[in-house]
Amino acid sequence: MTHQTLGGALRAKKAENGYTYRQLDPILGATANAINRWHEDQSRPSAVHAAALMDYLGVDIDELGALILRGEMLRAGLLLP
C-alpha cells in the first residue's frame, strides 16, 4: 500500500466489486460526480462521508486520513508517485 491514495483505494475496491459510480451513489451517500473526483484524487470527501467510506473500504479513521493525506501530498508535489 505504498503511497496509496483514497483514489487508488477506491479504484481497487471498485474494480474488485465491479461497481459503477452510479452504483456507489447510495453506498457512499455522494453523487457520482463527487465520487469520480475522489477516485481521481482531485478533491477530498467531507467528514459527512467518512463513515460510509471507512465501511466501504474496510479501513479505520487513521487509515482513511492517511489515504486522503497521501493524495494531497502527491498533488502538491511533496511525495513522489
Cβ count near 5 (within 10 Å): 25
In a domain, 80, yes or no: no
CA nearest to 32, candidates 60, 10, 59, 16: 10
Q: What is the CATH number of the domain that holds 46?
A: 1.10.260.40
Segment 25-59, tens digit of pLDDT:
999 999 999 999 999 999 999 999 999 999 999 99
Q: Which domain, by its residues, includes 52?
A: 6-75
Gap between the Cα atoms of 40 and 7, Å rounded: 5
- CA contacts within 13 A on the Cβ side of 64: 18
Question: For 2-10, what is the mean pLDDT?
Answer: 85
Residue 48, Cβ neighbours under 10 Å: how many?
Answer: 9
pTM: 0.87
In a domain, 57, yes or no: yes
d(CA 18, CA 16): 6
